[in-house]
A and B are shown apart, each in its own frame.
Chain A
């Protein structure tokens, strides 16, 4: 579980996060949504420890990050898996090399143990024939799956995903969403996803945090987002005519 308590972050005179308090539970897909410039990426980077908040605290399973020793921070990093927006696969390594990388860096496993683990996670993300290909030789959807495989290879307790569906066609996006949800439930991981994709919000948003101008504007589940009367949320989530009609039908059905 990750608990965030009143975090503030500024860059120069620009106050990006103005006091966000929330928590993300284990075994659930927690989604962060909001308009561009609302502070989602900064918030995610604060959770990852890439940015240090000026005020407030972030705790991982009860341990406050800013109070951890360097050794504890290093250990925590090895419990974190991250899927970047552009996948961030290492160009100079094959798919297998990318997946094995964290194992080679942080474990004392033998080559055969690493090979077995890499084969297992690649099979888990439905990639069986791409072991020896380079990232430039595979499609965007496959790159995302390699990134997920690399993120889970160390059995992380926390999984962070920054726009995992960006640049993917709707069908592949659903495959990636389902994969993240399955992995989250299967391994009981605390998953936090930064997204713009409203399909993801409706499908896998077990908890949704809506940020606006650096503040928490709303939080709830994908079921609650249908019912909410919060105008800021409905303006953002149901900005397209299609979603407006879907919501209308849902409300009419309920009545």
Chain B
């Protein structure tokens, strides 16, 4: 019993230490900025890697996600009393409110998150971060800040994912014979609340910050060798997903509750 209590205590202390260290890291990211001439090229490189590099996979996922939502909704309409435009309406709402911002962010935690953790982790293992620090470079600003700025464009790819998701739903509903094009489009336009899009983009911006910083934290503070870089990437994916899901709940409660 005593062992269990001790174990739980130290386990929680570890979490608290990590949260504290993460907060200090965020503060240090914005300290002692790198020269703008260098920072500009770092940001452009990260935009290319993190934003444009993720566009293809997110479009692919969004298309099929929308298609599946449309089919599932259509198959669950069994009563004649339910209007046919519900397929379009449900697809739009699901895609804009949850699937595009949250589901895509979980996918990004795997793609972008593990890339960030492994690239920074490898720099730690091979002493490249020590080299930056010895030179007097703020390694956190140099490595993490460009990623935060690049991921500010994340809502841009999520907006594309929204369009493609709804388009995928239309394709599946119309060509699968579940709804007519007119019914689907009527549903998509029905009771549209613009704030839902604002809410989705606000959420996306918070997720973008999480996607840039949580994996960076796991890479920057890792210790060990190549094996630990792999482990850090896995841990980073788990924690980024957890933080996104918790943040999603809190933001939904705050903005829509």
**A residues apposed to B, CB below 8 Å:** 48, 50, 73-74, 77-78, 80, 82, 84-86, 88-91, 101-102, 104-106, 160
Q: How far is the CA of A5 from the CA of B136 in the complex (A)?
A: 24
Asked whether A90 and B128 contact (CB < 8 A) given A77-B136, A80-B134, the answer is: yes
Identify which of B35, B37, B128 gathers the most chain A CB atoms within 10 Å of its CB.
Answer: B128
The answer on a CB contact under 8 Å between B131 and A88 is: yes
Give the size of the chain B interface in residues (CB under 8 angstroms).
16
Asked whether A78 and B128 contact (CB < 8 A) given A104-B38, A105-B34, A105-B38, the answer is: no
The answer on a CB contact under 8 Å between B38 and A82 is: no
- Residue B98 interfacial (CB < 8 Å): no
**B residues apposed to A, CB below 8 Å:** 34-35, 37-38, 122-123, 126-128, 130-131, 133-137
The answer on a CB contact under 8 Å between A91 and B128 is: yes
Contact of A105 among B127, B133, B134, B135 (CB under 8 A): B135
The answer on a CB contact under 8 Å between B135 and A77 is: yes
Q: How far is the CA of A104 from the CA of B130 in the complex (A)?
A: 18
The answer on a CB contact under 8 Å between B127 and A86 is: yes
User: What's the minimum C-beta distance from A169 to chain B, rounded to whole angstroms?
Assistant: 21
The answer on a CB contact under 8 Å between B134 and A82 is: yes
Identify which of A74, A86, A88 gathers the most chain B CB atoms within 10 Å of its CB.
Answer: A88
Q: How far is the CA of A85 from the CA of B126 in the complex (A)?
A: 9
Contact of A106 among B126, B127, B136 (CB under 8 A): B136
The answer on a CB contact under 8 Å between A82 and B136 is: no
Q: Please, which residues of chain A bring their CB within 8 A of the CB of B126?
A: 86, 88, 91
The answer on a CB contact under 8 Å between B128 and A50 is: no
Give 4 nearest A-B pairs by CB, closest first.
Answer: A77-B136, A88-B127, A88-B131, A82-B134
The answer on a CB contact under 8 Å between B134 and A85 is: no
User: What's the minimum C-beta distance from B20 to chain A, rounded to whole angstroms?
Assistant: 18
Q: Please, which residues of chain B bring their CB within 8 A of the CB of A85?
A: 127
User: What's the minimum C-beta distance from B192 to chain A, rounded to whole angstroms?
Assistant: 45
The answer on a CB contact under 8 Å between A84 and B127 is: yes
Q: Please, which residues of chain B bring their CB within 8 A of the CB of A86?
A: 126-127
The answer on a CB contact under 8 Å between A84 and B130 is: yes
Q: How far is the CA of A112 from the CA of B126 in the complex (A)?
A: 31
Q: Please, which residues of chain B bring their CB within 8 A of the CB of A101?
A: 135
Q: How far is the CA of A48 from the CA of B38 in the complex (A)?
A: 25
15 more A-B residue pairs beyond the given contacts A91-B126, A105-B137, with a C-beta to C-beta distance below 8 A:
A50-B130, A73-B136, A74-B136, A77-B134, A77-B135, A80-B135, A84-B127, A86-B127, A88-B128, A89-B128, A91-B128, A104-B37, A104-B38, A105-B135, A106-B136
Chain A residue nearest to B137 in the complex (CB): A105
The answer on a CB contact under 8 Å between B34 and A84 is: no
Q: How far is the CA of A91 from the CA of B127 in the complex (A)?
A: 11
The answer on a CB contact under 8 Å between B133 and A50 is: yes
User: What's the minimum C-beta distance from B137 to chain A, rounded to whole angstroms?
Assistant: 6
The answer on a CB contact under 8 Å between B134 and A50 is: yes
User: What's the minimum C-beta distance from B84 to chain A, rounded to whole angstroms?
Assistant: 54
The answer on a CB contact under 8 Å between B34 and A82 is: no
Q: Please, which residues of chain B bring their CB within 8 A of the CB of A80?
A: 134-135
Q: How far is the CA of A104 from the CA of B36 in the complex (A)?
A: 11
Q: Please, which residues of chain A bring their CB within 8 A of the CB of B130?
A: 50, 84, 88
Q: Please, which residues of chain A bring their CB within 8 A of the CB of B38?
A: 104-105
